[in-house]
Amino acid sequence: MKSISKDIFKKYQAQTFPYPSLLEVEIAEGSYITDVYGKKYLDFIAGVSSCSIGHSNMNVINAVKDQIDKYSHVMVYGEYIQKPQYTLAKLLAENLPEKLSTTYFTNSGTEAIEGAVKLAKRINGRSEIISCKNSYHGSTHGSLSLMGNEQYKAQYRPLLPDCNQIIYNDIKSLEQISEKTSAVIIESIQGASGFIIASKDFLKKLNSICKKNKVLIIFDEIQTCFGRTGTLFGFEQTPIIPDIICIAKGMGGGMPIGAFISSWKNMNELTYNPKLGHITTFGGHPVNCAASKATLEFILEKKIITEIEKKEKLFRKHLQHKKIKTITGKGLMLSIDLYDDHHTYQLVDNCMSDGLLLFYFLFNKKSVRITPPLTISLSEIEMGCSIILKNLNKLN
C-alpha cells in the first residue's frame, strides 16, 4: 500500500497544529486503527470520545447503508418529515427527563452550543452567559466567547459581549450569577482541563442560585454523552436536571451530528418573532440521525453502560506507577496526571511507537487522555495499560 505523501497532506490540507502525529489511516475496526503500513494501533482516543461503540460498528454501518439507499439530504432542517430524525428525537426523549423532551439537531457540538445560547436568550430575554474558567465549548465565535482560556481567544476579539466566567468548583464565585444572567453553561466533567469532576456541593449551590435568580442551566454533554461516564448523560450523576443540554461527539457512533435539547415550550421560542430562530442546512442529516439512533440502540440493548464502572476500575487498578501523580475523571473518560510536561509528550509518542494511541488535553500539559471506545474489552484495557506502564518505566 502506497502512502499519501506527507508533503501533499501538509501543503493542500489546512493545518492548525504544527506537530500532527501523521498516522496514515488505512482501516479502523473495533478498538483498533491500522495504518497504511499494516501497523495496528490500540485506540485509547476513539476520535476524542467520538467513536463510542468502536470503529466500523456493524449496526452503524448497516443503518447508514439502509438510509443512504433510501435518501440522503432532501431539505433544510425541519421542513420535511424525515423518519431518521423524528425517531431519534423520540428515542432521546424516552431516555431523558420530561423537561428535556424536544431536540434540535445540528451538525456539530459547537453548533449545538450556539443554538443553546441563542435559545437561552430567547427564553428569558437576558444576555449574560456565564461559563467556567478552563471550559471548552467549541471553536466557532459564540462558543469561543464562552471558552475559559484567554490564550486561545485573544486574537479573535471582539467576541460576544456579556460573556463572563466563574471558577469551576469554587462556590464563592457563584455569587457572580444574578438576575441579569441568562444562563450558566457547564460541563459535568471539565474536558479540556484534564477531566475534572464538578463537586456535588458546587452543583447544588449552582442549582439553588440559578433557581433563585431564574437563570437557566445548560449542560455541555458533548463529550459525556452517550454513556461515557457510566450513565447515558453526565447530569444523571449530579443533583441538577438542566434546562438545556448539548450533545454531539459520541452520539453519532463516528458520524457527525449534534443536538441541543430542552422542553417543547422552550424550543417553541425559536418559531416566532422572528421565526426560524436557528437555521441549518445539514443539521440532523438523515444518514447521521440513522447512525446516531443505531448507536443509542446499541448502547441500550447491549447494556454497554453496565460495564463502564468495571472497566474504569480495571484502568485504575493497573495504572499505578510512581510517575503517575493521580488519575482523574470518571468511567471511560480518564486522565493520567503526570508530574512533568515532557513526560506527557514522551509517553504519548513512545506508546504510539508501541501501538497504543493516547492523546493530550488542550489546557493541561501534564496529563494524558484515555477515552477508548466504550466497547473496549477487558483484555484490551490490560494490554494498553501494560504498554503505558512499560513506557512510564522508560521516562527519565
Ligand X SMILES: Cc1ncc(COP(=O)(O)O)c(C=O)c1O
What are the E-state strand segments in 117-171? 128-132, 163-166
Choose the stretch contacting ligand X; rule: CB under 6 A; options: 217-225, 267-275, 338-346, 370-378.
217-225
Sign of the dihedral defined by the CA atoms of residues 234, 238, 241, 243, in that order: negative
C-alpha torsion sign, points 225, 332, 299, 63: positive
Closest alpha carbon to 110 in 130, 132, 131, 136: 136
Interface segment toward ligand X; rule CB under 6 A; list 31-39, 94-102, 152-160, 218-226: 218-226
| Inter-CA distances, 50 with 33, 265, 350, 381, 384, Å | 14, 30, 24, 18, 19
222 touching ligand X, by CB under 6 A: yes
- As measured in angstroms, the least distance from the Cβ of 392 to ligand X is 26
Among positions 115, 142, 148, 191, the unique one binding ligand X when judged by CB under 6 A:
191
What is the enclosing helix (H) or strand (E) of 142?
Answer: helix 141-146
Residue 110 binds to ligand X (criterion: CB under 6 A) = yes
Out of 43, 220, 307, 337, which residue is the one contacting ligand X (CB under 6 A)?
220
Cis peptide preceding 274, ω within 30 of 0: yes
CB of 276 vs ligand X, minimal distance in Å: 22
Interaction mask 131-160, ligand X, x per CB under 6 A: -----xxx----------------------
Find the binder of ligand X among 43, 187, 269, 337 (CB under 6 A): 187
Stretch that binds ligand X, among 79-87, 220-228, 287-295, 318-326 (CB under 6 A): 220-228
Do β-strands 258-262 and 196-197 pair in parallel, antiparallel, or remain unpaired?
Answer: unpaired
Contact (CB, 8 A) for 360 and 368: yes
Q: Based on CB atoms, which residue is closest to ligand X, 57 or 107? A: 107
| Contact flags string 79-108 toward ligand X, x per CB under 6 A | -----------------------------x
C-beta atoms surrounding 159 within 10 Å: 15
Which residues, in sequence order, are CB contacts of 90 under 8 Å at separation 6+? none
Chain residues 253-282 in contact with ligand X, contact rule CB under 6 A:
258
Residue nearest to ligand X (CB): 109
Q: Rounded CA gap, 124 and 184, in Å?
A: 13
Residue 314's contacts (CB-CB under 8 Å, 6 or more residues apart) are 378, 381, 382, 385
Instruction: Pick out residues in 47-76 that bind ligand X (CB under 6 A).
Output: 48
Question: Would you count residue 284 as binding ligand X (CB under 6 A)?
Answer: no
248 is a site residue for ligand X (CB under 6 A): yes
The yes or no reply on residue 228 touching ligand X (CB under 6 A) is no
* Residue 184 contacts ligand X per CB under 6 A: no
Binders of ligand X in range 32-51 (CB under 6 A) = 48
In the complex, which residues of this chain contact ligand X (CB under 6 A)? Answer: 48, 108-110, 136-138, 187, 191, 220, 222-223, 248, 258
